[in-house]
Each structure stands twice: as C-alpha cells, then as structure tokens.
Structure 1
Amino acid sequence: MKLYPIETGNFKLDGGAMFGIVPKSIWEKTNPADHRNLIDLSMRCLLIEDGKNLILIDNGIGHKQSEKFFSYYELWGETTLEKSLAKYGFIKDDITDVFLTHLHLDHCGGAVEWNQDKNGYRTSFKNARYWSNEKHWQWAIEPNPREKASFLKENILPIQESGQLNFLPLPSTGNYSFAPDLKMDILFVDGHTEKQMLPVIKYQDKTIVFVADLIPTIGHIPLIYTLGYDTRPLLTLSEKEKFLKQAIDNEYILFFEHDAHHELATLKMTEKGPRLNDVYQFNDVFGY
C-alpha cells in the first residue's frame, strides 16, 4: 500500500473568515495576508493505492465553473488534479473510489465535470464509487442559508444521478474496508458541517489523519483558532479539544488539505495547550 499527496490547485480566502474571532495581528504570524486580506490556501487531496484499488480523498474545486465564479477564489499556481495524478502514473479513469469528507465546493467540485458533447454534467471518475454519508448528503441537498453558497447542485446531484453514489454507515466501531490492506477508521465531526468525515489511516506503523476543515492549516492548531465558516463553533471547540488530545496521546500525523506550504505535522502539549511540534513534507516521512 502507498499514499500520495495530490495537489489539485491553490486558492485564497479572507483571513478573517478563516480565523473567526482570532485577531489578525495573531493569525498573520502563521498565515500572512496580502493587501486584500486574503491568505494562501491549498486544495490538497490524498490518494491511497492498495493493489487494484485507488482511493481518492476529496478532489478540489474542479474546472467546470465560470471565469467569474473562479475570480471569487483567486486561484493561483500551476498544479491540477490531472497533473498530480500523472506524476504518479495515474489518470482519473484509474480511480476506484472517491471519498468525500464533505460536499463544500472546494472539496468536491472536481467530482463532476462538464460534458460538452451532451451539453450536461457527468462524473469525473467514471469507474469509481463515490462515498458520502446519508446525513451529510441530506444536509447538502437541502442546505441552510449559511452554507447554501458552498453546496452547489451541479457538484452534488450528478453523482446521485450517475448511480455511483454510496453511503457509509454513521459512527461505528471497526474498520471501513475499501481495499484488502487498508486500515482506516472515520472520525465524524459536526461543528463545521453536519457529519464531516475525517479518515484515520494506519500506514507504515504510523497513524495519519486527513484533518480537512477541522484543522485547515498549521495556524489553526490552537484550540480557539477555528473557522468563521463553522456552523456550530462551540461544537467545533469541543470536537477539536477531544481530537487534539487524541492526536498527542497517539502521536498522530496530521495531513493538511488547506495548508499551502505544509503537508504534514505532529503536535505536542505545552503549558498553553496543544501546539505544533514539527512540520514535514510527505517525502520527509515516507521517502517518495
């Protein structure tokens, strides 16, 4: 089994929105903003190769939206999902499973593409099973006003219409078996959005957690550094406090989806609470 970081592209969002109540004078030390108060973010995904199985966790923002739409997100850099897959010798048709942590546009926009021949939408990974969970799916297709702009029908409904949609069971004990050697559990968290799913993967005697929007960047490690986008911020605090303790006690390696400059990190306990221990690039830890 092998894991690969997949860079799908970079974007920018307002630093204040990304850090909620934390003052700019503090958060800009780790996430410096430009003249418009925008900070650099990535849309990094994770590919798991296990025998004939290729499991892609999230898939970025995609390409199908209008130029005006993309202008809101200040896309930058040259990386794409296709280029990143090709780096490791794969194409989209090789993907067997697409795991969706949640259905916000920067996590699932690449799941669906525009089919010019038929003047409509189609799934981007035609040979894959798509995985969500029933509670989050329902939350996304009947969105609340706060999240409506993040749940785009064209990113979501074509997956169901394709017949490729599958639902994972809600929190339970035991392993979620996508492939023969893959040891993965799922942490369900509700503060950011209903039933966001964070994969917890055993790999080379280490535990890697794809932290998605629970801890978007290394700047979000301290407890109260949470997203202004969270629908239930007090619940996020409770979930995050529990997770940070587990991460330190169990020596988890955090895999960041949105940190444009750091792929992995470990944590340590200090007199001020959980803090960054060290940062790594994927090659530093796994040698490829």
Structure 2
Amino acid sequence: MRKLGLAGLVGASLVLVIGLIFFIFGFFRPKVAGIYIDTNPSSTIYLNGEQVGKTPYDKLRDPGETVIRLIPESFQAPLVPYETKITLVPGVKTVVRRDFGESQETSAGEIVSFEKIERDQSSLVVISIPDSAELLIDGKDKTFTPHKTSDILPGEHTLELRADGYQSRPVNVKTHQGYKLTAVVQLALSTSTTQVQPTPTEKPKEEKPMVEILSTPVGFLRVRNQPSSVADEVGRIQPGERYVLLSEDEKTGWYKIGYEEGKEGWISNQYAKKIEASSVTPAVSPRVSPTPTPKVLLSPTRTPPSPSI
C-alpha cells in the first residue's frame, strides 16, 4: 500500500510539472499576427521592402509596423501602385483589399481592424475617403462619416458608403463582443466625373523600351548621376517599378532613365531588366505617398473572421 501511495504521489507530481512546463511555454511564446492581402487585378507584394509573393496572400508574420506596397499586374491600361502602413496586432489577422485604378482617385478598397476593448460590448468605427460620405448600416441607419457607435449588436452587418461624384461601395463586416471594429473605406471617383474632353488625334509617338527594377538586398535601387557605383546618389526607386529607358552605357551596361519629372539618372543593370517596347505598354510606376491608417482587419469573403488567429 505504501508503495502504491508513493507511486501515485510521484505520478501526480510529474503531471503537475509537465502541465506547468506547457503553461510557461505557452505564456512566454511570442504571439504572431496574421495578414491577408487580396487585390483586383493580381499584384506583386512588398512588405517592408521585401518581395514576398503575389495576391492573394495569407501568411503569419511578426507583429509590428509594416509597410505594404502593391504593384498591380496590368497588360492593358497602366494601373497605379498602392502603398500604405499598417500595424500587425498579435493574435489578429489583418486583411487589405484593393481594386486598382489608373490613378489613386479612381482606385478603391477597404481596410478593417479589430481592437480589444475593456467593455464587454461591440463597437464600430467607419472612416471614409473622401470624408463626410453617406453611410447606411444594414440598409436603414443613415449617417455620415466619420461615424462611431457602440449601439450595434455582435454579428454580420452591411455597410454601404456613398458620395457625390464617387462610386458607391458595399462592405460586409462582422462585429464581435469585446472588440472595436474600425473600417477605413476608399471610394473611387465615378467614371462620368473622370472623363476628359476629346482632343484632336495626334500622330502616335514612337514607343520606347522600358526597364523594370528587380529585387535588391536593401529593398531599393540607387539612382546615380553617372554610370558608376561610386558616383553621387541622386535618388532612390523601388523594385517592381518600370521606367522609360533613355540610353545604355556601352562600357558598364548601366541604364539611363527618367525617374522623376524633369530628372534623369543612371541605374545598375544588375538590378534592372530591359523590356522591349513591343512587349509592354509604356507606363512609369508613379510614386505613392504612404497613407496613415489604423490597425486593419478584413476577411477574404469581405466578412471579417473572428479576431483571434
């Protein structure tokens, strides 16, 4: 009997120690954050200057501030890239959705985030670009952005945003008890407001070859005033961007490009690929200024999933 009692005590102690080890490991193990990116059309993704793949993209990453740059794949009209800065939150999946246009004004998309709140309630915040857009919640509660409310039940809801001169945009969200949901929605200019007066047809200009910037170890490519790695730096450009090729140095093979309006410079051919005019529509990737946004979360089906990963 004494041996059985001793064996039972040892077994219980062992179970307790193992349980304590698992608890400590789980408590101190760093949490990860999820990110999902989807675009129309498909695009190449750069996170903090590193090319990570193409859309749709669904991965786990370290929490923290992240710069997202999306380069659309366009074989017809040139589409403008998109860049924004978000904060990945531990235990929360962040989703970015973008519909590309030929300019920032004709592009659209939405960014939504969940944030833990102390009160055991559901909260909704809606921000729009442009500001003061008409907001319909579930087709009946009419208000204007920016809008914040805690008088909303947990569950699925439909947001519809409208503004004069812009295309309306519906967004499906799902609120959760104990979380604040923030939706940032950009509306695209209506095509009727972006039409221009026709002009006399001019003789087509001769298409020039392009260069596409490749990935670099530092996440950008230096533009120099001479075709040499020791020449002065006059600018920086990003991987995935395309520029008109002005000339090519016979000795070094470096490319001369026009990287900004009225500015020219040389780039290394080691990190650039020449594209002949017959294989691509000339389109210089415009520079995009990062737009500050709050922490974001969406779902691939336009209905945000549970806040926890």
Higher relative contact order (CA 8 A, sep 6+): 2
Larger helix proportion of the pair: 1
Indicate the structure (1 or 2) with the bigger Cα radius of gyration.
Answer: 2
TM-score range, shorter chain: under 0.3
Larger strand proportion of the pair: 2
